[in-house]
Amino acid sequence: MSDISYVESKHAPPLAECPNCNHMLPQGLGEVTCEICSAVCRITHQPTTDSLISESIPCPSCNTVLVAGTAERPVNMTCSACSSSFMLTQKIIKVEIECPSCERQLRIRPRPGTRELDCPACETSFNVTF
């Protein structure tokens, strides 16, 4: 039996803010708990759900195009042509932050709360709040 391949989805739920504390909510659809104030929020976005369900993915083994058929991520998929299995994972969103000292663009994964970043170019530390 071979190792499972991982394929990242092309679509991701939009980033949302908590209506209670205005901080960023964890990425995802459905019931999401705010990591800052513990409020439970229901996140829905029909265009994203439709895109996830109808997403076409090429099989990593034989390149046969498959349709996801579900909005859940991660999901195990099996190719009907070659019977190989692979995991369709959630897309990881990254944002660009500009260093206040040297204006270099830093790509990071947004997380709720405040983070301290160190610029690799000028070694300046600064805080970012999502």
pLDDT in tens, 42-63: 999 999 999 999 999 999 999 9
- Phi and psi torsions of 125, nearest 5°: -100, 140
- Phi and psi torsions of 22, nearest 5°: 65, 15
Average pLDDT, the chain: 91
Residue 104 makes CB contacts below 8 A (sequence gap 6+) with 98, 119, 120, 121, 122
Tokens matching residue 86: 């692979």
pLDDT in tens, 59-88: 999 999 999 999 999 999 999 999 999 999
Task: Over range 98-108, report the average pLDDT.
Answer: 92
The domain spans of the chain are 5-89, 95-129
Confidence of residue 2 (pLDDT cuts 50, 70, 90): low
3-state class (DSSP) for residue 8: strand
